[in-house]
Structure 1
Amino acid sequence: MISAHRIFSHKQNKRGDVSVKSIHQEALTLGVCYYPEHWKESLWREDLQRMKAYGLTVIRIAEFAWNKFEPEEGVYTFEFFDRFMQVALEEQMQVIFCTPTATPPTWLSEKYPEILNADLDGTLYRHGMRRHYNYNSPVYRRFCAGIVEKLAAHYCPYPNVIGWQIDNELNCEKDVFYSESDHLAFRTYLKEKYKTLDNLNECLGTVFWNQTYSDWNQIFLPRPTYQNSANPHLALEERKFISHSVIEFADLQAQIIRRYAPKGQYITTNGLFGHVDYDELVERSLDFIMYDSYPLFGFERKDQPPKKDDLKDRNWSWNLTRARAISPNFGIMEQQSGAGGWVSGIATPMPKPGQIRLWTMQSIAHGADYIGYFRWRTSWIGTEIYWHGWNDYSNQPNRRLEELKGIHHDVAAIERLAGAKYQARVAVLKDYPNEWDGDTDQWSAQVNRLSDKGWFEAAQLTHTPCDFLYLNETVTLQALCQYDLLVYPHAVILTECTANLLRRYVKQGGTLILGCRTGYKDEYGRCPMSPMPGFAADLCGVEVTDYTYLSPYDEMEQADWNGSMIEAPLFNDILEAHGSTAKAEAVYRGNYYDGKPALVSNKIGRGTAYYYGAAFSRQTAEAFLHKLQFAAPYQGILELPEDCELAVRQKDGTNYYFVLNYKEHEARISVKKRMTNLLTDEQITGPYELAPYGVLVLKESLA
């Protein structure tokens, strides 16, 4: 076997004083997903050679190919993929090898139906789709361990294997599980956590509606009930249990691969999907996270009419921000390269000329150092025959392949940006318990959706780079202090420990914004008999004296903030300032609480905490950014219209400004400092017309 130059490794980066896991490469790299089992062997070498001509040097393979390795129970064969791997070696193509556990073979599903997932009433999902298994079946775990062991032992020694993908899109399609194995595993999980039934009954409030358990065997994951309204505290535990199951399943595979993988081969998986604590997953089992980016979902045809102010493909920067919160430098395992569509259920248009280049740069702008496209050639068989790759069915040259040539040129021009860090002084705080509690809590769900959208769009349209920071027990004060402004829109579940950490952040000079319904619940989702907002009261110098969900018949509630009217949508906490350092900054205008405080500030040490008694629309979030002087931190360097996104990455004393035009018309910008556009090597200053779907990467030395 010949050697292949390894460009991948992994390393620990710092977020504050806590290590986080990132991809590490010598250069930005392009790759593509390839399915040799779908094509004649006579195409393999030509395909790999054409890939390299377009700058694609990495392929991902085998995630749906279990039957090629184990055509019947206990019978393993590697001949097919050995032939392909030999061609890949000869062509010096690097390989990300996948474990094929996302699609168990037919013989396994039929002989062992206990491996199948089930719906809420226990009906099994039968073979014929994908991801139809459950994580907790001992039988499935045994077969998964077997196939992973065989593949790792056989393919880890290949010098062109640079990494491993575990499964494929964990919790995609279905992120709830109700098989018999899941019910049994859930009981074990609760026993280990709560120890006694008395403790479980107390913490989960089972006395309500006579749900008290007297035997562990009485406990199930949620099952069909009248209106399907399960115990909300048990439902929160269900979400935690699902995440636990996913992580156990991934770790089973990761531990096997690590026994065989030489130094430099990484382990990852592709996300992001519901009911998974990705921070714990990466910390425990992976070297970094990969994301699958499909911006064309922003143009998917649906029954309801599109919203005029929707950011469409630009919304995918929200997901990229989330990926960056897990791994500051990450990879894209699947980047859109053509129309998306299944035979049923999904239909999107073909990307317009320039859009794939734009989306590639969108991913890179947010910290992606590897871009793998889905897929090389459009499938001619199966459910995804309308999900296009670079090549159409005909395998003839097309305009998208011409665009790939330009992308290859652009990435080569900026390849040394690998490792550059996204720059943001504003962060939105998130946590998994509140996300999962919002699955069943409709009060929380609606304010969360509005405020997430409001803060994202406000940051985008004011050109204020923004991070996410997920809170857990490992996050330190130093990690928070990287940011001048933290926004925790609706910390409905707020522990004393988290409140104390936030207080220390404010005391050291930080600015903190909290929104309505903060501190309403404890860690189990119960509402304690104490004044609201619970542990946020002392932090914000505030008490909630009344509260209301806004009726659809109410006019849009507003708050008067020193003469400026800001929106106060969906839910209103009526506030009262408490303490010598607390001050009412804004009052409600309208409804029965007209003139009552809507916004209270509280000085703590060198910083200020704000409690706003409503959700955050785009207009509200923009008002906070402007009034507190956090908006547009780079306006002295670049003047941009709302149609363009600004992202900044920094490395070795140099800022790299990505300007992305998401519109099909030119964008007029102003460059206020002479800088080099790395994509063309031209010097730019003053007014500039950015082409439709155009991109600039401007270099500024900070020395």
Structure 2
Amino acid sequence: MTTWPTRVRGLAWGADYNPEQWPEDVWDDDVELMRRAGVNLVSVAIFSWALLEVEEGRYEFGWLDRVLDRLHAGGIRVDLATATAAPPPWLTTAYPEVLPETADGVRLSHGSRQSYCPSSPVYRAKAVALARALAERYRDHPAPAAWHVNNEYGCHVPRCYCDRCAVAFRAWLRARHGTLDALNEAWGTAFWSQHYTSWEQILPPRATPTSHNPGQLLDFDRFSSDALLELFKAERDVLREVTPDVPVTTNFMAAGFSGLDYWKWAAEVDFVSNDHYTRGEDAERHIDLAYSADLVRGLAGGRPWLLMEHSTSAVNWQPRNIAKLPGELRRNSYAHLARGADGTLFFQWRQSRAGSERYHSAMVPHAGPDTKVYREVERVGAEYGRLAELVGSTVAAEVAVVFDWESWWALSQPNHPTGDFAYPEHVFAHYRALWRAGVTVDFVPPGADLSGYRLVVVPALYAVDDATPYERYVEGGGHLLVTYLSGITDTRGHVRLGGYPGAFRELLGVRTEEFHPLGAGRAVALDDGSPVAVWTEHLHADGAKVLASYADGPLPGVPAVTRNERGDGVAWYVGCGLVGDGLDRLLRAALDQAGVAVGPGGDVEVVRRRGEVAGTAVSWLVAVNHGSGDAELPAAGVELLSGARAAGSVVVPAGGVVVLREEEV
């Protein structure tokens, strides 16, 4: 099986290319500008269904033939899309049952994109037919390097509540639970007289008088992710049948999207690709970028991955679409590269003059190539051409963070102890502290092999069936740091009795008798001076050593942070909402005790990739300086962008980048 776009030379560099938006006399200029910019891979036909299948069963591929011929002649490979992300108006007009419905029973209309129900047999049949027609048309064309199925699955319609989905949901539930008795037990339907006596009584969680059954919500989240995954697999399987040597992917939105369980999805693609957009008004957007890149590398199992989309400058969908600063495009590209990407692509190649994304930046802006953006694009493209030796290299980390989409779903349900807790922000807070310490992080799923890590952070792993892997890890010498709202329920959503944090109680040597979330905007302090927000709990040390207790608030003197020695390892528990410097200090203490070396921190991120050159093991130091002053790092080797040799230290210019092939000294 091929697991990377074929015959792409060096690092992938390019964009979504939408030639159908432009007169054909622009296409030759596009190819020439791409060559100038070092572009070697573009995604084509992502939203072209209406122009490829102009009416039911009648395909017109002539224009796409000419596009692919031009790109191939220019030495540019193609990530060819199946074009199924936006059904054409003729389809949704002829078959309105294809359209999705909201929980309130509103049928969504065509006129934008993703206007399809994942359980629609008509949509599935038409999408698979188009994928087959494209595969058969271009099976022998030399341009395609990969298949791009659909686009950002679930981005706008992660859940559909129509009658077709109700039928599919029941079938999914039968397969999961087997019997109605098992389902009633799993959902706890004795509460509020919800006991089901036939499968036909079960509905998606549509609008009801008040809050839904938590078990039903969690299973519907699982079903909805699986339903979209089945759509992807249907197209993928046709593509593999017709073009077995062309790898298949679809673009994830890993860091900020709760709709899909990407651990499950990652196992079904030939290579992982991702879209990530920084938030222009976020002063820590470079840390958010690193967080996304590390998470995607985790989804890829440590193998190289592709950044399918990011922006050259402003995006079009934020409240205020702030343009990127000079050099930010370059820093963003290298930050993804540092953390394991073997290519970085943009949305899009040429900035649109019509449509909803007219003001989304591109490699060629409205103002043309004589611009800051295109000059920076040319610069990075030329630099990427000097970095081919990095292809296939990987990133190693001594610290892991456990990330769980199912816990995210469960914690997003209503009626939790506080409405101020948000799973992704909680995970990011701990990641931020590790980033500030200059530590590279792997993200892993629940149940992953943890034996290769010195420290494992478990933020709010709410739904857990079995804590045994974590117990084995600690007893074998590992250092584990678990935060509040972990181990509270099993994976059905049933609360574990006997005290919180449930599944982790014995391992951590603690027992919580009651949650004490803080009022809106309230904060308390620990006796070591650390600030606490959002969360406190009435915790008892049951064998664990107390490291910090509350100095004030509703629980003065009650333990808040503990450390428990177990076997050859250590298990920390953070039973409060540590923020700011307090969280930084705690993570640094855990890193120190686990024997993890910290990096320079501050505004400079440093990551190492490891691989081979001519059969010799090599490491590359990739440093990105987000600050306003130059930074000097200890290093020896050849700086690949400039060709200069570093004999003990290297200077990373303010706002600049260094890629150094390291040498031993």
**What TM-score, normalized to structure 2?**
0.93
**Counterpart of 2:250?**
269
Contact 1:451/1:617 (<8 A) preserved: no
Shift of 1:486: 0.3
Shift of 1:26: 6.3
Contact 1:116/1:125 (<8 A) preserved: yes
Shift of 1:421: 1.5
**Counterpart of 1:647?**
607
The sequence identity of aligned pairs, in percent, is: 27
Match of 2:130 among 147, 151, 172: 147
Contact 1:24/1:418 (<8 A) preserved: no
Shift of 1:41: 1.5
**Counterpart of 2:328?**
355
Match of 1:557 among 521, 524, 531: 524
Give the letter for the 2:465 counterpart.
T
Distance, in Å, in 1 between the alignment partners of 2:68 and 2:319 is: 33
Distance, in Å, in 2 between the alignment partners of 1:586 and 1:24 is: 57
Q: Quick one: structure 1 residues 679 and 645, their matched pair in 2 at CA, closer, same or farther if it must change by over 3 Å?
A: same
| Superposed CA offset, 1:2-32 (max 9, x none) | xxxxxx9427xxxxxxxxxx99976322122
Give the letter for the 1:510 counterpart.
G
Distance, in Å, in 2 between the alignment partners of 1:521 and 1:480 is: 22
**Counterpart of 2:508?**
540
**How do residues 254-653 of structure 1 correspond to structure 2 at under 5 angstroms?**
254-263=236-245, 265-272=246-253, 273-283=257-267, 285-295=268-278, 297-299=279-281, 310-327=283-300, 328=302, 329-341=304-316, 347-441=320-414, 442-443=416-417, 446=421, 448-472=423-447, 475=448, 479-496=449-466, 499-552=467-520, 554=522, 556-560=523-527, 564-579=528-543, 582-630=544-592, 639=600, 642-652=602-612, 653=617
- Give the secondary structure class of the aligned counterpart of 2:58: coil
Give the length in aligned residue pairs: 653
Root mean square deviation, CA, Å? 2.4
Shift of 1:702: 5.0
Contact 1:464/1:630 (<8 A) preserved: no
Select between 484-493 and 418-427 the one with higher mean Cα deviation. Answer: 418-427
Unaligned runs of 5+ in 1: 1-7, 12-21, 300-305
Distance, in Å, in 2 between the alignment partners of 1:688 and 1:195 is: 62
Shift of 1:132: 1.6
Q: Quick one: structure 1 residues 406 and 394, their matched pair in 2 at CA, closer, same or farther if it must change by over 3 Å?
A: closer
Shift of 1:600: 2.6
Distance, in Å, in 2 between the alignment partners of 1:168 and 1:41 is: 25
Matched, 1:35 2:25: no
Matched, 1:203 2:186: yes
**What TM-score, normalized to structure 1?**
0.88
Give the letter for the 1:454 counterpart.
A
**Counterpart of 1:116?**
99
Give the letter for the 1:230 counterpart.
H
Distance, in Å, in 2 between the alignment partners of 1:24 and 1:451 is: 41
Contact 1:545/1:575 (<8 A) preserved: yes
**Counterpart of 2:213?**
231
- Give the secondary structure class of the aligned counterpart of 2:536: strand
Q: Quick one: structure 1 residues 84 and 24, their matched pair in 2 at CA, closer, same or farther if it must change by over 3 Å?
A: closer
Contact 2:272/2:306 (<8 A) preserved: yes
Distance, in Å, in 2 between the alignment partners of 1:675 and 1:341 is: 42
Distance, in Å, in 1 between the alignment partners of 2:424 and 2:644 is: 42
- Give the secondary structure class of the aligned counterpart of 1:100: coil
- Give the secondary structure class of the aligned counterpart of 1:217: helix
Distance, in Å, in 2 between the alignment partners of 1:507 and 1:166 is: 44
Shift of 1:449: 4.2
Distance, in Å, in 1 between the alignment partners of 2:519 and 2:6 is: 48
- Give the secondary structure class of the aligned counterpart of 1:226: coil
| Superposed CA offset, 1:220-274 (max 9, x none) | 11111235x21122111111011111111110011110001142x1100111233
Contact 1:670/1:685 (<8 A) preserved: no
Shift of 1:450: 4.4
Shift of 1:362: 1.2
**Counterpart of 1:72?**
55
Q: Quick one: structure 1 residues 384 and 414, their matched pair in 2 at CA, closer, same or farther if it must change by over 3 Å?
A: same
| Superposed CA offset, 1:341-378 (max 9, x none) | 15xx6541222221111111111011110122221211
Shift of 1:661: 2.3
